[in-house]
Amino acid sequence: MLVGLLIFMSACSVFAAAEIRLRLNDAIGESWSAQQIELVVEYTAEEPSLELTVGQLQLAGWPAAFRDLQLECRLAESTAGSLACQQNDAQMVVGQPGAEQVLKLKIGFTVDWVSGEITGSTLQIDTDRMGIDAIVALLPVDTAQALSRQVSVSSGELAGGVKISAQHGELASVAGSVNLWGVSFSNPIGTQAGENLSAQVDFSTELTGDNLAFSLTSQFIGGDLFINPLFFSWAENPPSLTARGGWSAIDQRLVFSASYRHPQQLDMAGGAELFWSDNVVQLQSAFGWITAENLATSYQA
C-alpha cells in the first residue's frame, strides 16, 4: 500500500492539486493490528501533507494497546525517487480508562518510493509528569518481567523526552533528558534500595558502524540510597555523577571516565583504557583520585 501511495503522489505532481482518502476498519500485520484507520493525503505543488488517525494499535508482546494515535505531516518534500517528511506531530493515549497518559511524539522519515525502504527516520517521545508504574506497563511483557526480577519500584514519577534516530533500519543515536521525583525501589535480596529519590538525568549514545560513544550526566536533588554496605543521604548539597566513553570495534578498545562530586563531602574521579587481544582484556592506562571530608554526615557504612 505504501509503494502504491508514493506512486500516486508522484503522478499527482503533474496536476495542481489532488487528494486521496482511505478508511479501514481493521488492518493486521505480522506483529501488529490496528482498528479505525483513516489516511488522508493532500497533494499541492506548494505543500503536500499527510494525516493518519488510528483508533487503536496493538503491538505483539506489548501488554496494552495504544489508543487515539494521531499523526500529522505538515510538510512533505518530494524529491527524485524519495519522499521526505520531517515535520510530524503525533500523540498517543495509553493506559487503562480513568488512568490515561498522553505521549507526545515527533516523527521524521525519508522513504525511497521505488523500493519502499525507509532510509532515515527519527522518533522523539515527550511526556508530562507520569507514574513510573505507567511507564513499566508500556514495556514489552518479556522486558517488564525481566525488570521485575531485578528490582521492584514501589513509587515514583518521571517526565522528560528521548530522541531516537536510525539510518537504513540501523540504530544511529539515542539521546534524552529525564526528571525523576520520589522514586522508591529495592532489589529482591535487599542489598540495594532507594527512598524518595529525585534527580535529573541527561544521556546520549551515538553509533557509527560498529563504534559507539556515550555520555551520562545525573544531578541528584534529594533522597536516600542504600548500596550494601553504604548508605547515601542527599538531603543537602546534592551530588552529581558524570560518565562518558567510547568503544572502537576495529581496535577492540574501550575508553571511559567517570566522576562523582558531592560538594563539601566527597569528590572523586577515574577512568581507564582497555583493549581486547585474543579474548584477553588488557589495561592500557588508568587514573583516579579522591578527596573526602565530613563523610559521616551522608555516607554511613
Instruction: Enumerate residues 6+ apart whose C-beta is below 8 A from 34.
Output: 24, 26, 27, 28, 54, 55, 56, 57, 58
Cis peptide before 229 (omega within 30 of 0): yes
pLDDT at 248: 93
Tell me the CA distances in angstroms from 149 to 45, 70, 109, 153, 191, one per residue in order. 56, 35, 37, 11, 14
The pLDDT value recorded for residue 194 is: 92
How far from chain centre, in Å, is Cα 14? 41
Confidence of residue 1 (pLDDT cuts 50, 70, 90): very low
What mean pLDDT is predicted for residues 219-225?
89
Q: Do 69 and 91 meet the contact criterion of CB atoms below 8 Å apart?
A: yes
Spatial CB neighbours of 288, under 8 Å, sequence gap ≥ 6:
268, 269, 270, 271
Confidence of residue 283 (pLDDT cuts 50, 70, 90): very high
Residue 171 pLDDT greater than 70, yes or no: yes
Query: Any residues with CB less than 8 A from the CB of 69 and at least 6 apart, and which?
Result: 52, 53, 54, 57, 90, 91, 92
**Could you tell me if 130 and 161 are in contact, meaning their C-beta atoms sit under 8 angstroms apart?**
no
- With pLDDT > 70 as the criterion, what percentage of the chain qualifies? 84
Q: Note the pLDDT of residue 101.
A: 75
H helices of 124-199, in order, are 132-138, 141-150
Residue 113: per-residue pLDDT: 66
Residues in a beta bridge with 194 = 185, 225
Above 80 in pLDDT, residue 22?
yes
Handedness of CA 259, 262, 263, 268 (dihedral sign): negative
Report the alpha-carbon distance of residue 267 to residue 269 in Å, rounded: 7
In this predicted model, what pLDDT tens digit does every residue of 86-126 receive, in sequence order? Answer: 767 777 777 666 767 778 888 888 877 677 677 788 888 88
Q: Where are the alpha helices (DSSP H) in the chain?
A: 2-12, 132-138, 141-150
Question: pLDDT at position 135, please?
Answer: 77
Closest CA to 227 of 264, 266, 186, 199: 186
Average of per-residue pLDDT values in the chain: 82
Q: What is the mean pLDDT of residues 261-278?
A: 89
Whether residue 24 is predicted with pLDDT greater than 50 in this model: the reply is: yes
Instruction: State the pLDDT at residue 191.
Output: 92
User: CA neighbours within 13 Å on the CB side: how many for 100?
Assistant: 12
Cell, residue 103? 505521549
- pLDDT of amino acid 17: 59
pLDDT digits (tens, 9 = 90+) for 55-71: 888 877 766 677 787 77
Q: Are 134 and 96 in contact (CB under 8 A)?
A: no
Segment 180-218, tens digit of pLDDT: 999 999 999 989 999 999 999 999 999 988 899 999 999
Residue 167: predicted pLDDT: 86
In one-letter notation, the amino acid at residue 241 is: L
Least confident of 4-18, 231-245, 285-299: 4-18
**For residue 16, is pLDDT > 70?**
no
Contact indicator for 167, 122 with CB cutoff of 8 Å: no
Where does residue 209 fall: left (phi above 0), alpha (psi -120 to 50 degrees), or beta otherwise?
left
> Does 5 score more than 50 pLDDT?
no
